[in-house]
Amino acid sequence: MKPNYSYEKRQKELAKKKKKEEKLQKKAERRAARDADPQASVPEDESGAPDNQQLLETMPIEGDASSEP
C-alpha cells in the first residue's frame, strides 16, 4: 500500500496553522496585559541601582560654572 501524501501534507498544514493561531493568541494576550498595566511591562532593576539617565542627570559636568564655588 502506498502512503497517502495528500493526507500527510494536510495534517502538517493543520498543525502549522494551529501553532500559528496559538502564537498569535499568546501575543494578543501579552499585548492586552501590557496595555492594561503599562508599568508592569517596564522591568525594574532588582539591585535598586539608578539607571544611566538618572546618573547623567545627577552627575556634575566638568567645566560647568554651577558646580564650582
* Model pLDDT for residues 25-68, shown as the tens digit of each residue: 999 999 999 888 766 545 555 566 656 666 666 666 666 555 55
The reported pTM is 0.46
What residue segments make up the domains of the chain, in order of their start?
A: 1-33
31 near 38, Cβ under 8 Å? Answer: no
Among residues 5, 29, 25, which one has the least CA distance to residue 17? 25
Task: Return d(Cα 18, Cα 14) in angstroms, integer.
Answer: 6
Q: What is the pLDDT of residue 22?
A: 98
